[in-house]
A and B are shown apart, each in its own frame.
Chain A
Amino acid sequence: MFRYSCIGAAVLLSITTVSYAQQMSDNLFNPALSLILVGTYSQLSRSPNTYAISGFIPSGADVAPPPRGFNLGESELAASSNIDPYLYGQFTLSLGADNTTAVEEAWIQTLGLDNGFTLRAGRGFSNIGYINEQHSHVWDFVDAPLAQKVFLGGQYASDGVQLKWLAPTDRFIEVGAELGNGKNFPGSARDKNGAGGGAVFVHVGDDFNDSNNWRAGISYLKHTVLDRAFTDNGVSNAFNGDSGLWIVDAVWKWAPHGEMTRTNFKLQTEYYRRHESGTLRYDSGGVNQASDYQSTQSGAYIQAVYQFMPYWRVGTRYDRLQRGTVDTGSININNLPILAAYSPTRTSVMMDYSPSEFSRFRLQLAQDKSQLHQTDNELMLQYQVSLGSHGAHKY
């Protein structure tokens, strides 16, 4: 009797061990999950509801400062994992404060095609420039640079494929090309086979020494635009034609002996130049007047962030857009007040405190002169936290 119960106990024990081990391995194969929570309090002298960037055709994306008062920021739910020995996958769901859900990223990527090649497919941020491929929660300021807003609708993502090649050199040299549906600004939705937009970029980077390192790049983004609509002064208009954007970016980082826990410094700048040519249709629903349209416009930002003691950083950023030349042909430009001859600027300063790698609290002050004859004085308080697995950060 004793022997049987012993065997019974042993069997029972082995069953529980097996199911426990089973559970464990199921869990171990789950993707890495992470959740980003962001909240802001903003005090703005002008209503963000009437925000516009003068001198430029609006992107249609939501690029206004966060609503006044208390406001939940964009929450992000991400899952990522190796799929098999050949592929890696990443998925990011963005949940807006207004309860809208958007698939921010959903892509698969090869795990070492070798010879320096990496192929990515799906929806992802384009690797053009520097700040564009970063998630907004790793930006050093609450909001995007003005040039990002006006030329890329805040941040440019596309559904498509990307091929990157890393040169076999000690210096980092990366060359990449992207083809996508080009549905997002500066592109437009289109019912056509093939690609609606594409990009090429080169990034070069290296260490000067133990304490200093840098990365610089040049990118070109091209779209064939079909009926990209925008509203100005209550009238609907549309642009058709070619849109090409150049971006030159540079980043320099410093930390004594590369030990960045105590102090470090980062200088970052990007220059954007866009040429659009085609036809502009004015008042599509009414007068419906078409004309040749040409514009060459540019913008840049420069920002510096200094960590002066553990956990504490201060930063400053200067934005400037150059309206450049805008030729509306036979359409009277006065009918398009958004294209007023005006070059927006903005100056921002920020201070943030990060008690751990997983949380950050920020105060940002800005004087935003995006809009003709208007100055918006902004104060923003923000928290950003990350729950769960916390992936490695890009440079």
Chain B
Amino acid sequence: MQTFKYVRILSVTLLLTGATAAWANMNIFACEPEWESLAKELGGDKVSTYSATNGMQDPHHIQARPSLIARARSADLLICTGADLEVGWLPQILQQSSNSKIQPGKDAYIEAAMLVERIEVPTRLDRAEGDVHAAGNPHIQLDPRNIKLVAAQVYKRLAELDNVNAAYYQQRYKDFNLRWDAALAGWEKQTEKLRGMPVVEHHKLFGYLFRWLGMKDVGQLEPKPGIEPTTAHLAELLQQLQQHPAKLVLRATYQDDRASRWLSDHAHIPALAIPATVGGSDKAKDLFSFYDDIVQRLQGIGQ
């Protein structure tokens, strides 16, 4: 009788605390929405996904919230950008998760930035240079060719970790690859006119996008990475633009628009916000529509 009472209390507690019966699926913990979207593409209905951040957040600055620790505890696979992007919160989450599977170096720990060729790797490490990343620019999701490289690895790990569904993942991976290649060709065609276009960006964020589309990065609104724009720096930038004009001021939708509006007004060039990841705009619902939206917004400028 007593035992029964405890069982009842326990089951009520579990119900109240929102326990989900996730036995069937692989639980995937993604640090950023682009990796959650990729996991959905490749995992289909065999995976449950969770993203630690949303498209309107700067993934550098996240709180190691209790909900993230709880989600990391039950994760079977972790996909994060790495390259120190999540250094301010992820180590705390991993340490408190008591989940040995997803610790750095384990099979269920994927650091996406290590799978691609990174740009802007600093030759000098000094905090006086602002928030620099020793492993280079971590915002690799802004080149769709990188997504392809990461997809290959995510598929491989899924097939290894959830062996019974390996054929299913392979099918989905093949299908994704075909659709991605087709979309990629389309995006590249639609953005041909942007080649060589000089652009000012808010933060050193769009390096991969510029490399992909052949756009020219001519300056940042931030005086140093991670340091908010100052009036002195903006004035200097404006002077520089009078000598070597830019065609566009670009920022992510989550970044403050005041500095780019100021420069846009004074340099008489358009200011544009684009999503930095899935969920960064209403249209960017998955990886495909994320790039569709970026391309569409940029095309508006290229006209």
- Report if A and B associate in a common complex: yes
Residues of A within 8 A of B (CB): 88, 109-118, 164, 166-174, 203-207, 210, 213-215, 253, 257-262, 310-311, 355-358, 390-395
Identity of the chain A residue whose Cβ is nearest the Cβ of B69 in the assembled complex? A172
Task: For residue A178, give the distance in angstroms from its CB to the closest CB of chain B.
Answer: 16
Residues of chain B with a CB closer than 8 A to A116's CB: 73, 98
Task: For residue A125, give the distance in angstroms from its CB to the closest CB of chain B.
Answer: 15
Interface size for B (C-beta < 8 A) is 45
Task: For residue B87, give the distance in angstroms from its CB to the closest CB of chain A.
Answer: 7
Taking A167-B17, A392-B91 as contacts, is the C-beta distance between A206 and B228 under 8 angstroms? no
Whether B66 pairs with A356 at a CB distance below 8 angstroms is no
Whether B19 pairs with A168 at a CB distance below 8 angstroms is yes
Residues of chain B with a CB closer than 8 A to A261's CB: 58, 61
Whether B97 pairs with A257 at a CB distance below 8 angstroms is no
B300: CB under 8 A from chain A? no
Residues of chain B with a CB closer than 8 A to A395's CB: 63-66
* Contact for A260 among B61, B101, B127, B130, CB less than 8 A: B61
- Report B92-109 CB contacts with A as 1/0, cut-off 8 Å: 110111111101000000
Give the docked Cα–Cα distance between A109 and B98 (Å).
Answer: 10
Whether B71 pairs with A392 at a CB distance below 8 angstroms is no
B254: CB under 8 A from chain A? yes
* Contact for B90 among A174, A311, A392, CB less than 8 A: A392
Whether A170 pairs with B71 at a CB distance below 8 angstroms is yes
Most chain B CB atoms below 10 A, which of A166, A214, A393: A166
Whether B103 pairs with A393 at a CB distance below 8 angstroms is no
Whether A311 pairs with B228 at a CB distance below 8 angstroms is yes
* Contact for A394 among B64, B103, B254, CB less than 8 A: B64
Whether B65 pairs with A356 at a CB distance below 8 angstroms is no
* Contact for A117 among B56, B63, B98, B127, CB less than 8 A: B98
Task: For residue B278, give the distance in angstroms from its CB to the closest CB of chain A.
Answer: 14
The 9 sampled A-B contact pairs (Cβ below 8 Å) are A112-B99, A117-B98, A169-B17, A170-B67, A174-B69, A205-B65, A257-B56, A356-B227, A392-B64
Whether B91 pairs with A170 at a CB distance below 8 angstroms is no
Contact residues, B57-97 vs A (CB, 8 A): 57-58, 61-67, 69-71, 73-74, 87-93, 95-97
Give the docked Cα–Cα distance between A111 and B62 (Å).
Answer: 23
B119: CB under 8 A from chain A? no
Whether B100 pairs with A259 at a CB distance below 8 angstroms is no
B53: CB under 8 A from chain A? yes
Whether A111 pairs with B103 at a CB distance below 8 angstroms is yes
Whether B88 pairs with A357 at a CB distance below 8 angstroms is yes
Identity of the chain A residue whose Cβ is nearest the Cβ of B70 in the assembled complex? A172
Taking A171-B18, A259-B56 as contacts, is the C-beta distance between A213 and B99 under 8 angstroms? no
Residues of chain A with a CB closer than 8 A to B73's CB: 116, 166, 168
B120: CB under 8 A from chain A? no
Give the docked Cα–Cα distance between A111 and B96 (Å).
Answer: 9
B131: CB under 8 A from chain A? yes
Residues of chain B with a CB closer than 8 A to A205's CB: 65-67, 70
Give the docked Cα–Cα distance between A117 and B96 (Å).
Answer: 9
Most chain B CB atoms below 10 A, which of A113, A116, A203, A395: A395
Residues of chain B with a CB closer than 8 A to A203's CB: 66
Whether B70 pairs with A262 at a CB distance below 8 angstroms is no
User: Given contacts A356-B226, A393-B88, could you give 11 more A-B pairs where the C-beta distance is less than 8 Å?
Assistant: A112-B100, A116-B98, A169-B70, A170-B71, A171-B17, A172-B69, A204-B66, A210-B54, A213-B67, A310-B228, A390-B88
Whether A394 pairs with B92 at a CB distance below 8 angstroms is yes
Whether B99 pairs with A170 at a CB distance below 8 angstroms is no
Whether A114 pairs with B99 at a CB distance below 8 angstroms is yes
Contact residues, B13-35 vs A (CB, 8 A): 14, 17-20
Whether A259 pairs with B57 at a CB distance below 8 angstroms is yes
Give the docked Cα–Cα distance between A22 and B62 (Å).
Answer: 36
Identity of the chain B residue whose Cβ is nearest the Cβ of A389 in the assembled complex? B87
Task: For residue B57, give the distance in angstroms from its CB to the closest CB of chain A.
Answer: 5
B188: CB under 8 A from chain A? no
Whether A206 pairs with B89 at a CB distance below 8 angstroms is no
B256: CB under 8 A from chain A? yes
Give the docked Cα–Cα distance between A170 and B256 (Å).
Answer: 32
Whether A166 pairs with B70 at a CB distance below 8 angstroms is yes
Residues of chain B with a CB closer than 8 A to A210's CB: 54, 56
Identity of the chain B residue whose Cβ is nearest the Cβ of A110 in the assembled complex? B98
Residues of chain B with a CB closer than 8 A to A169's CB: 14, 17-19, 70
Task: For residue B6, give the distance in angstroms from its CB to the closest CB of chain A.
Answer: 15
Give the docked Cα–Cα distance between A358 and B130 (Å).
Answer: 10
Give the docked Cα–Cα distance between A257 and B63 (Å).
Answer: 12
Task: For residue A306, give the distance in angstroms from its CB to the closest CB of chain B.
Answer: 16
Task: For residue A175, give the distance in angstroms from its CB to the closest CB of chain B.
Answer: 12
Give the docked Cα–Cα distance between A167 and B17 (Å).
Answer: 10
